[in-house]
Structure 1
Amino acid sequence: MGTKGQDQGATLRSRSDMAAAARIVVKVGSSSLTSVAGGISEEALWKLVDVLALRQKTGTEIILVSSGAISAGLLPLGLARRPKDLATQQAAASVGQGLLMAHYNQAFSAHGVTASQVLLTAEDLTRRHQYVNAHRALERLLHLGVVPIVNENDTVATHEIRFGDNDRLAALVAHLVKADALVLLSDVDSLYDGPPSEGATRISHVDSPEDLEGIVIGSAGKAGVGTGGMATKVQAAMIAAETGIPALVTSTEHAGAALAGDDVGTWFGINGNKRPVRMLWLAHLADIRGRLVLDDGAVRAVGERHKSLLPAGITAVTGDFDAGDAVEISDARGNVFAHGLVNYRHSDLPQMLGRSTKALAKELGREFEREVVHVDDLVLLGH
């Protein structure tokens, strides 16, 4: 059974410390699990499970975030490539998720390890009640010695409320379970300073965003079965590192070496502190529906003194949004410095600009006395 519970394991300062990690989130992409003929490669999946089960038996708690449900559903539905429309993606995920879990259950059972299915939506990690439930469920599974296999609930997720790829989902899950490390696996062994086929140099470690300046990072590969590519892995690794969790990006082939702390992949060292997962979502993943432009006084109040945003400081509004939607917040020169959840529809705001909440309440009613964005629903970018 797991022993970590709520306690944090050793702080990992370098990849060599991976051998001491007590709780690790591992993410594997569709391209690493897909056979040449289509569908799931049993050989690839079993090799990965062999590595994870061996590490789990040493006492390390493993949470596996696995893509592959849509890919697994392509062959049974007679589809040659990943569909572009959401409805067919959902149908493929519905067919494929059960097939994927059947493979995982069989492979883990061969090692005497129990695996479980955990399907999450963005709301499960951004709404307080659902977040608490997700955290409690995963903690209990780990305590019972189970390997939770997490995937986005593609069958019911919509364009507006989805993570978009499992790399970023894995970063948020790592934060949710207070993991010691995040390992992102794909078919590329490391981040390079150019195309690997053209003799590029491996980037061994990244300590800050400045280390990646000038580097062109690739998107999804040619296979057409995944949604991420190196760009989303780097973004997910940076999200984790900026919130106190180191990350390692490497290939599935090097999974065992990565967990052992060998010199493989690209290591993203810690360069920030943990913050609420809801704020991570708002900063990195929220569907931005509009923009609020502030005068200099409001920029200082919100950006420096961490105050709520009031209508008096807003000079312009763009976009089409409802109350509760995410918007970006910029200064008069167009520099976006914050994201927030707005309390009004876009059509309500023009009549409110530059006016005090007291005057608005007197003229329009008490419901207009609220902040436009409350400080608890606001995240400063780069913090």
Structure 2
Amino acid sequence: MRKFKNNLKKVVIKVGSSSITHDNGKINLQKIDELCYELANLENNGMDVVLVSSGAIAAGRAKLKIDNRPTDTSEKQAAAAVGQVALTNIYDRSLITYGYNSAQILLTRQIEKDKEMSNNARNTLEKLREMDVIPIINENDSISTYEIKFGDNDTLSAVIARLIDADLLIMLTDIEGLYTDDPRKNKDAQIIREVTDIKSVESLAKDTDSNVGTGGMQTKIKAAKLATEKGIEVVIASGENMKIIRDIVKGDIIGTYFKC
């Protein structure tokens, strides 16, 4: 069993597009419902949970009947604008079923540099927590080209974790964790269960091959570095089964654990 350094009171969970979509790119309603169940259950257990969710572009593609991931920036932004409405409604319906309201917050990485914006975001998140509302955060793809091109929501999840002084950041992706090589191309690749020195694993990072996401292992390692610099522990694991969230929090040896 893993022993986290702090009792887990504040947890940020990031899900990538591939974790909440079908292979054809359409939103996987069952996976989102299972995710919302896990979020609500953590809340019922006394934890404050913030969800950082990708998927707006994928949801917009489905509604607009766009077969492949757009390459044109304006088309990506349009798909995100349409998809964000659909995605938020799906989350809200599921969370209400389990007794919680949700709030949508769209941010850009500008909150890293703008002190007033950062304080406003922190105050909003704190007030929502007082109201027992589960915040669902996404990057504002419709107005920000930087995030679309350079990192999906991985970095944003680390920024949010730092903003609220989280105890743990969980990043769910399409593989079990960080490997010594790409396991989809090298059958001898071995999973790395614990990382104590991020510099030693930075060279292992690979970009994504996903048709629905933009953030590969490279951005996740960078996010882990941002989080651990502030004493926030990180677990990267597979989002194939959302029950994995309860097992990670319990301390089961799952995924790759970045220790502070």
Letter in 2 for 1:216: L
Indicate the residue corresponding to 1:259 in structure 2: 249
Q: Give the Cα separation in 1 of the matches to 2:5 and 2:89.
A: 29
Indicate the residue corresponding to 1:350 in structure 2: none
Indicate the residue corresponding to 2:207 in structure 1: 219
Indicate the residue corresponding to 2:191 in structure 1: 202
Indicate the residue corresponding to 1:54 in structure 2: 41
Q: Give the Cα separation in 2 of the matches to 1:160 and 1:228.
A: 10
Identify which of structures 1 and 2 has the higher relative contact order when contacts are C-alpha pairs closer than 8 Å and 6+ apart: 2
Residue aligned with 2:83, SS? helix
Q: List runs of 5+ in structure 2 lacking aligned partners.
A: none
> After superposition, what is the alpha-carbon deviation per residue over 1:62-86, rounded to whole angstroms, capped at 9, x for unaligned?
0000000000000111211211121
Indicate the residue corresponding to 1:169 in structure 2: 156
Q: Give the Cα separation in 2 of the matches to 1:19 and 1:147.
A: 22
TM-score scaled by length of structure 1: 0.63
Q: Work out whether residues 167 and 228 of structure 1, in 8 Å CA contact, stay in contact via their aligned partners in 2.
A: yes
Shift of residue 160, structure 1, vs aligned partner: 8.5
Q: Work out whether residues 186 and 250 of structure 1, in 8 Å CA contact, stay in contact via their aligned partners in 2.
A: yes
Shift of residue 17, structure 1, vs aligned partner: 2.7
Letter in 1 for 2:31: A
> How do 1:99-138 and structure 2 match up within 5 A?
99-138=86-125
Q: Work out whether residues 18 and 258 of structure 1, in 8 Å CA contact, stay in contact via their aligned partners in 2.
A: no
Q: Work out whether residues 184 and 248 of structure 1, in 8 Å CA contact, stay in contact via their aligned partners in 2.
A: yes
Letter in 2 for 1:29: G
More helix by share: 2
Q: Work out whether residues 83 and 89 of structure 1, in 8 Å CA contact, stay in contact via their aligned partners in 2.
A: yes
Shift of residue 210, structure 1, vs aligned partner: 4.1
Residue aligned with 1:109, SS? helix
Letter in 2 for 1:24: V
> After superposition, what is the alpha-carbon deviation per residue over 1:145-172, rounded to whole angstroms, capped at 9, x for unaligned?
1110000011111339986420000000
Letter in 2 for 1:227: T
Q: Identity across aligned pairs (percent)?
A: 38
Q: Work out whether residues 6 and 167 of structure 2, in 8 Å CA contact, stay in contact via their aligned partners in 1.
A: no
Letter in 2 for 1:200: A
> How do 1:169-318 and structure 2 match up within 5 A?
169-197=156-184, 198-212=187-201, 215-221=203-209, 223-252=210-239, 253=241, 254-270=244-260
How many pairs align? 255
Q: Give the Cα separation in 2 of the matches to 1:72 and 1:18.
A: 37
Residue aligned with 1:51, SS? helix
Residue aligned with 1:199, SS? coil
Q: Work out whether residues 198 and 221 of structure 2, in 8 Å CA contact, stay in contact via their aligned partners in 1.
A: no
Q: Does 1:70 align with 2:70?
A: no
